[in-house]
Amino acid sequence: MAHFQIKDLTFSYPTAKAKKSLDGVSLSIEKGEYIVLCGKSGSGKTTLLRQLKSVLAPHGKKQGEILFNGTPLEQVSQRDQSAKIGYVMQNPDDQIVTDKVWHELAFGLESLGYDQKTMRARVAEMACYFGIADWFHRDVANLSGGQKQLLNLASIMAMQPEVLILDEPTSQLDPIAASDFLNTVRKINIELGTTVIITEHRLEDIFPYADRAIVMDGGKVIADDTPRNIGKLLYEQKNDMFAAMPTPVRVFYGSNGNGDCPLTVREGRTWLSKTYPEPTISTLPAEELDDEIENPALSLKELWFRYEKDSPDVLRGVSAEVPMGSLYAIVGGNGAGKSTTLKAICGICKPYRGKVKVFGKPIEKYKATELFGGCLAMLPQDPKSLFVKKTVREDLAEMTKDEKKIAEIAAICEIEGLLDSHPYDLSGGEQQRSALAKVLLTEPKLLLLDEPTKGIDSFFKEKLAAILCKLKEQGITIVMVSHDVEFCAKYADMVSMFFDGQILTTDTPRRFFGNNSFYTTAANRMSRHVFSMAVTAEDVVELCQQNREAQV
């Protein structure tokens, strides 16, 4: 008997008249399966997942049937559903109800009215299994995003669910925390046999381990197969989703590879060394960086900063120079001080030593209206902190009365169709672009971006990249702080490594990632034994093609 049996499910929201959010979805999910649900934003993934738990199912017109263990879902009691179907959502913060880690762990058990003895045993068990014991007594407010999400998972696992549904659980986490989290999910699946249904942008980490991948588009299931076959299918269909496939898959099909498609970096390495044992062309041209930068748009000299008098220094001598009209990326671990550097540039944090010069003029010499009116602007990490009005249009109108200008910027950011929506109704990528539009209305010459790719799928990332390129053409200098090495490798002009409160190395992306062996892109890790300086999937594909031509 299938664990979940979805029969011809069709669903539409009451507000959308004719548009079906789910259209004739039929699926069967076996016990213990690990299933990846992929698709662009708005393809109906979340809507489908929410249907699998009655209390979370949105209101709307629904046809078709969902069977859980052979019983129609509506007939399974709320209590059983709460315990047996675990659901982890996207936002780590808002899901947490209580203020202490131990209390949160027990929350579900308290709701179900378990007695002290059972609760004690379950909580202890979960704390050990998830490695929470060290921070068991802490305040939730003091946890990192990764810890919060792990806590959410643990508090659901405490109820011993049979199936675990995860809706983009790592979109708000940094890459290391994200892969930690996904490894834990995999461990649960393997060691406990819990059925896992997960949606994710970061397919690199989960795609190879999934039993099945299901691709959705426009509310329909367009593919349902093993991950290896899905890659092939999407490539043949020229589907937009192909861009989200793991690097080895993209390289393999991009260079018309033969044999079994590699899914992991390890498989990719084996495949590359078999196909190109002795490549004639093994490197790509990598420009060196000019040491002398004339008229830098931004120059930082020995910035030192700490948040409180007695706290340790966050910035410990940050120095950097950013040439005009370039896209400058700063990468580095969590809590290294990257975002603080951006705050120091816009004067939200005041460094106690060192100098910030914007277009050659020290920042203190600017008046606030002068600095933020047409010179400098920052897009914060959470785009929501910029929205203060009921519609995107009103929000943009807060910045300027000039409607022509609004229309122009809206066109650049491709949000013309979203102007009358409430900012909170938009998807992560749409919010990001609307917030960017608001920032651009100040007509900055120097644009600061704090984690612009956080929580955005690969499709929207490409859109964002296209927007950034357009801005660069207009002569705008962009400084970006990011965890997303793939994005930086592909689009940045210069990349800096931030570590221990300072900028350690700066180079062009090729030389920067090409010379790193751990902190680098999947494409580089996969190809570094045969090629050098190939840091994106496109680079590897190009080298493969050059070699093939050389062989012929």
Partner 1 sequence: MKYDAFSKCHPAVNFLFFVGAIGMSVVIQHPAYLLAGIITGAIYYLLLNGKKGWKTILSLLPMFMILTVINPLFNTLGATPLFHIGSRPYTLEALFYGAALASMFVIMMLWFGCYNKVLTSDKFTCLFGNLIPSISLLLVMVFRMVPNFIRKTQQIIGARKSIGKGISENATTKEKLQDGGTVLGALTSWALEGSVVTGDSMRARGYGTAKRSSFMIYRMTATDWILLTVMTLFVSLTIMAASFGQFAAAFVPNVSIAPVSWGLVTYICYLLIPTVLHVKEAFAWHISRSRI
Q: Which residues bind partner 1 (CB under 8 A)?
A: 53, 55-56, 77-79, 82-83, 86-87, 89, 91, 93-100, 102-103, 106-116, 119-120, 123, 140-141, 152, 155-156, 159, 343, 346-348, 368-369, 371-373, 376-378, 380, 382, 384-388, 398-399, 424, 438-439, 442, 448
Q: Which is nearer to partner 1, 159 or 503 (CB)?
A: 159
Bridge-partner residues for 68, per DSSP? 4, 71
Name the token pair of 375: 């010179």
* Residue linked to tokens 């299933």: 35
Residue 419, CA atoms < 13 Å, CB-side half-sphere: 16
Q: Which is nearer to partner 1, 40 or 343 (CB)?
A: 343
Residue 410 has phi, psi (to 5 degrees) of -60, -35
> Which strand (E) or helix (H) includes residue 295?
none
Residue type, 101: V
Q: Which is nearer to partner 1, 153 or 215 (CB)?
A: 153
Closest contact distance (angstroms) between CB of 435 and partner 1 is 9
Name the token pair of 329: 């990326």
Closest contact distance (angstroms) between CB of 418 and partner 1 is 17
Closest contact distance (angstroms) between CB of 147 and partner 1 is 15
Q: Which is nearer to partner 1, 157 or 272 (CB)?
A: 157
C-beta of residue 151 within 8 angstroms of C-beta of residue 140: yes
Q: Which is nearer to partner 1, 116 or 551 (CB)?
A: 116
Closest contact distance (angstroms) between CB of 394 and partner 1 is 11
Q: Which is nearer to partner 1, 260 or 425 (CB)?
A: 425
C-beta of residue 278 within 8 angstroms of C-beta of residue 531: no
Q: Which is nearer to partner 1, 73 or 261 (CB)?
A: 73
Closest contact distance (angstroms) between CB of 551 and partner 1 is 53
Full strand arrangement of the beta sheet holding 446-450:
376-379, 446-450, 477-481, 327-332, 494-499, 502-507
* Residue linked to tokens 């629904």: 62
Closest contact distance (angstroms) between CB of 316 and partner 1 is 22
Name the token pair of 404: 């022509």
C-beta of residue 477 within 8 angstroms of C-beta of residue 470: no
Closest contact distance (angstroms) between CB of 362 and partner 1 is 18
Name the token pair of 419: 């102007």
Bridge-partner residues for 545, per DSSP? none
Q: In Å, how far are 21, 37, 320 from 46, measured between CA atoms? A: 10, 10, 42
Closest contact distance (angstroms) between CB of 255 and partner 1 is 43
Closest contact distance (angstroms) between CB of 56 and partner 1 is 6
Q: Which is nearer to partner 1, 275 or 391 (CB)?
A: 391
Closest contact distance (angstroms) between CB of 58 and partner 1 is 10
Closest contact distance (angstroms) between CB of 30 and partner 1 is 23
Q: Which is nearer to partner 1, 108 or 262 (CB)?
A: 108
Task: Give Cβ neighbours of residue 540 (< 8 Å, ≥ 6 apart).
Answer: 247, 251, 254, 255, 272, 523, 526, 527, 531, 534
Q: Which is nearer to partner 1, 159 or 182 (CB)?
A: 159
Give, as one character, the DSSP assignment of residue 261.
Answer: P
Closest contact distance (angstroms) between CB of 245 and partner 1 is 30
Tally the residues of the chain: 552
For the chain, how far is it from start to end, CA to CA, in angstroms? 54
How crowded is residue 280: how many other Cβ atoms within 10 Å of its Cβ?
A: 10
Residue type, 515: N
Q: Which is nearer to partner 1, 68 or 271 (CB)?
A: 68
Q: Which is nearer to partner 1, 105 or 272 (CB)?
A: 105
Using a 10 angstrom Cβ sphere, with 0-12 exposed, 13-18 middle and 19 or more buried, the burial of residue 163 is buried
* Residue linked to tokens 């748009």: 297
Q: Which is nearer to partner 1, 372 or 499 (CB)?
A: 372
Name the token pair of 324: 């005009």
Bridge-partner residues for 167, per DSSP? 199
Cα Dmax for the chain: 74
Name the token pair of 443: 């007509």
Q: In Å, how far are 165, 324, 370, 374, 467 from 470, measured between CA atoms? A: 39, 15, 24, 18, 5
Give, as one character, the DSSP assignment of residue 47.
Answer: H
Closest contact distance (angstroms) between CB of 425 and partner 1 is 10
